[in-house]
Structure 1
Amino acid sequence: MAIIQPFKAVHPTADKVSLVTSRSYDDYGATELAAYLEFNPFSFLHILNPAYMNQQKIGFDKRFKAVAHKYADFKRDGILVQEEKAVLYLYQIESKNHAFIGILAGTSIKDYQDNVIKKHEDTLQYRVDLFKDYLHQTGFNTEPVLMTYNSTTALSEWIKAKSQERPLLDFSTTNKEKHTLWKIADENEIQWLQEQFKSIGDLYIADGHHRSASAELLYEQDKNSGNQNLDYFMSYLIADSNVKIYEYNRLIRDLNGFSKEDFIKKLADNFVIKSKKQELWKPKHKFEFGMYLDNDFYSLKLKEENFIFDDALSGLDAQILYKTVLQPILGIDDLRTDDRIAYVPGTKSITTIKEQVDNGEFEVGFMLFPISIKEIKDLADANLIMPPKSTFIEPKFRSGLVVYEI
């Protein structure tokens, strides 16, 4: 029984929303970031990086306080405005190939602790601690946790009808996306939606495990302060059929001392190998893997008869590649910290892998078939953790569109 909560959100004014919102801060290279900060005084990037020319010269504490001050400036200048009462939102992101639509709401720390909100990824403690400190110092968050749910006919029909109403905000971005935000302020509608999610049951984190863990850590630190906003964290709730899941492909810097011939011979113990020569080949089914090595592509089909998959993790393609190739043959034990491995999201062309191998930076590349939403949910239901960099999930939220104050 999942709880969703309206909140007194902050958002840009309609005339400036397209100027204010930005992609995630980490998406920008140094040159692009500098250009946005130089030529767009309304960009939310000014808040996220208020001392960008001197960011290497100040510590996190001073930087976070500067973020809070710049955020207050944007509110004081009327660039950002706050709702007078707690609301929910319906939010749609449309690109050329896909449309995502879901509900922005506060989700419960208690649900997170009680495993009503289910997880499938591990977290790095230093990242959790750092973002907790960021939330504590700045007093706001603008990146919701992406969660999926099992949709119902009633909820789907309500979303369809609501999306025909006049929106609060409607704008396009330079990467050719259209963003539309509808406010849900009617108390009867809010109560109805709350009942719907109570009946749906569990929620599943698709993207944002570190953000949710940081919110819990902040709650435990400050729960006696009387601040009820700490009891919730902002989430974007989207039907599990509406998310788009891409794979993360792997690049390896060397063959761990093996010759090409010996390496392929070792692979043949567990895979049926076919040369695809110069065909830009990538797997089309589960238990298939692509490989690029020495100017040729290969298909690797798992010899399933060699394996017994006794849980959701053991049958995951990313785990199979790790257990059959990366660890025993290539000697990569830690997928997070070993500098011999790098990752390329499936949103990028397969030629990216080819180019990085051809230029000598890496010796071999592996392409995976995307994980399904069912596999993610099976892992979460079994309290299992998938290998790092197994999924790249869309949609991605724009910073500065909706802000949850703490």
Structure 2
Amino acid sequence: MPIIHSFKAILPHPTKAEKVVIHLENLSLESAKEIRSINPESFVHLLVPKIENHYLRGSKTEITFQKIAENFDDFIQKNILMKDDTANIYIYRQENSQHSYTGIWTASSIDDYINNKIKKHELTRAEREKGLIEYLQQTGIDANPVLITYPENQKLEAFIKNEINKDSAIKISLDGTDHQVWRVSDLDKVNEIIQIFKEMPDTYIADGHHRAAAASTYGIERRKLNLKHKGTEDYNFFSSVYISSNQLSVLPFHRFVKLTEHQNSNGIIASIRKEFELTEIDVKDLIPTQPHFVGFYIQHKAYQINLKKHLKNDVLADLDVSIIQEKILSPLFQIDNPREDQRLQFVGGNVDLLTYIKKVDEGIFDMGFLLFPISVAELIKIADIGEIMPPKSTWFEPKFLAGLITHQIN
């Protein structure tokens, strides 16, 4: 069912790839500036450029985008980045001592997103979409792919297995993880992949709802302005990586809360005890090992919250994140807009939770709720019935390197 499209990707020169690519997750402005100052070939120059002429006319945003465009052209001219001569589909592998992920890196149709053939489980924020649209419009750089998953497909897995026996176009190692890219250039093989995807059932966004939404909105606007629109232009597609659902890693987003001056920790503990079975545990057992149990850390003590009495035999309502939101965060803290409330901080992915427990002990936060991850099967069920998960319900891996494969929207 999904329509995918080959494209002329922009990749780093194989000898420069390790210097070009960059992790976007948790990249602070300070870190970006530091990388920029020591590495003239880093992709960070296409994200946070250094503005040397402060007398240029225009707004700060306009000047920034102008500099990004200049840096992009400069990277191409210097062969730091190189555009493929032919339209390809790409195979991508990420592998370390714990995990291996292999998938198809391609361009997905904005129509599939709009028509819900690529299904969603998360709402997007207009403000964030606007910023991404502006970046696409001003730079044409589509460098952070949307992660899309699908039920295991034997035809596609067999195709991938055959292709990765060949030499890869790029192979780099970064922070203990190997990244490889293979080009699929043969037209018959490209068409074979496209046909396999056409025969698939629905696919599902795992990570990148805002990027997909922004690309789709931007593409629709470009169509209106192009009197010779054909449907094959790059603005009709967005960069995406398809990885089978049996390969994905799903990690939780934990919740850390700061009390207001009118609240106290003893009152919160008492309120939670009224609604749930609350058991004191050892700190080392804080991270739950099964669903419907939540680790709760407060006043230098660790507890386990049993959520089972609030199960309703409803796939969305029975998510741990839903119960925590509806039964604790909203009624006890009046956190009704968790995305925007400054008292709430989400901590996702592979992080050192002891650091955050220490922040509770030091009073930066007053408490933490540690959750068990949602399964891919639950995500698919929720997307299939058209429901939306609470904000920050899932942290999916793999995450991708910016600058490894860039889709250019001219």
User: TM-score under structure 2 normalisation?
Assistant: 0.93
1:51 aligned residue: 50
- In 2, the alpha carbon distance for the partners of 1:277 and 1:201 equals 45
Residue type of the partner of 1:395? Answer: P
Instruction: Report if aligned partners of 1:75, 1:81 keep a CA contact under 8 Å in 2.
Output: yes
Instruction: Report if aligned partners of 1:255, 1:263 keep a CA contact under 8 Å in 2.
Output: no
1:239 aligned residue: 244
Q: Between the two proteins, what is the percent identity of the paired residues?
A: 32
RMSD, aligned α-carbons: 1.9
Matches within 5 A, 1:215-254: 215-224=215-224, 225=226, 226=229, 228-254=233-259
Matches within 5 A, 1:318-333: 318-333=321-336
Residue type of the partner of 2:316? Answer: L
2:98 aligned residue: 97
Matches within 5 A, 1:269-280: 269-280=274-285
- In 2, the alpha carbon distance for the partners of 1:295 and 1:381 equals 42
Matches within 5 A, 1:188-203: 188-203=188-203
User: TM-score under structure 1 normalisation?
Assistant: 0.94
Matches within 5 A, 1:121-270: 121-173=122-174, 175-224=175-224, 225=226, 226=229, 228-254=233-259, 257-270=262-275
Instruction: Report if aligned partners of 2:133, 2:215 keep a CA contact under 8 Å in 1.
Output: yes
Per-residue Cα deviation, 1:231-274 (whole angstroms, up to 9, x for no partner) = 11110010011111110101111177454443223212332111
Q: Secondary structure at the match of 2:338?
A: coil
- In 1, the alpha carbon distance for the partners of 2:311 and 2:170 equals 52
Residue 302 of structure 2 corresponds to residue 300 of structure 1:
no
- In 1, the alpha carbon distance for the partners of 2:360 and 2:285 equals 14
- In 1, the alpha carbon distance for the partners of 2:74 and 2:260 equals 54
Residue 2 of structure 2 corresponds to residue 2 of structure 1:
yes
Q: Secondary structure at the match of 2:148?
A: strand
- In 2, the alpha carbon distance for the partners of 1:277 and 1:81 equals 54
Count of aligned pairs between the two proteins? 401
Change (3 A) 1:307 1:28: closer
Instruction: Report if aligned partners of 1:249, 1:346 keep a CA contact under 8 Å in 2.
Output: no
2:405 aligned residue: 402
Residue 364 of structure 2 corresponds to residue 361 of structure 1:
yes
Residue type of the partner of 1:271? Answer: F
Q: Secondary structure at the match of 2:402?
A: coil
Q: CA deviation at 1:43?
A: 1.0
- In 1, the alpha carbon distance for the partners of 2:151 and 2:105 equals 16
Q: CA deviation at 1:31?
A: 4.5
The correspondence for 1:390, drawn from 386, 393, 398, is 393
Q: CA deviation at 1:314?
A: 0.7
Residue type of the partner of 1:118? Answer: K
2:13 aligned residue: 13
What 5-or-longer segments of structure 2 have no aligned partner? none
Change (3 A) 1:82 1:274: same
Instruction: Report if aligned partners of 2:107, 2:237 keep a CA contact under 8 Å in 1.
Output: yes
Change (3 A) 1:256 1:391: farther
Q: Secondary structure at the match of 2:93?
A: strand
Instruction: Report if aligned partners of 2:149, 2:204 keep a CA contact under 8 Å in 1.
Output: yes
What 5-or-longer segments of structure 1 have no aligned partner? none
Q: Secondary structure at the match of 1:158?
A: helix
Matches within 5 A, 1:341-380: 341-380=344-383
Change (3 A) 1:27 1:277: closer
- In 1, the alpha carbon distance for the partners of 2:172 and 2:311 equals 51
Q: Secondary structure at the match of 1:238?
A: strand
Q: CA deviation at 1:277?
A: 4.2
Q: Secondary structure at the match of 1:332?
A: coil
Instruction: Report if aligned partners of 2:167, 2:182 keep a CA contact under 8 Å in 1.
Output: yes
- In 2, the alpha carbon distance for the partners of 1:331 and 1:320 equals 14
Change (3 A) 1:303 1:30: closer
Q: Secondary structure at the match of 2:252?
A: strand
Q: Secondary structure at the match of 1:279?
A: helix
- In 2, the alpha carbon distance for the partners of 1:128 and 1:330 equals 29
Residue type of the partner of 2:27? Answer: Y
Moved more, 36-45 or 182-191: 36-45
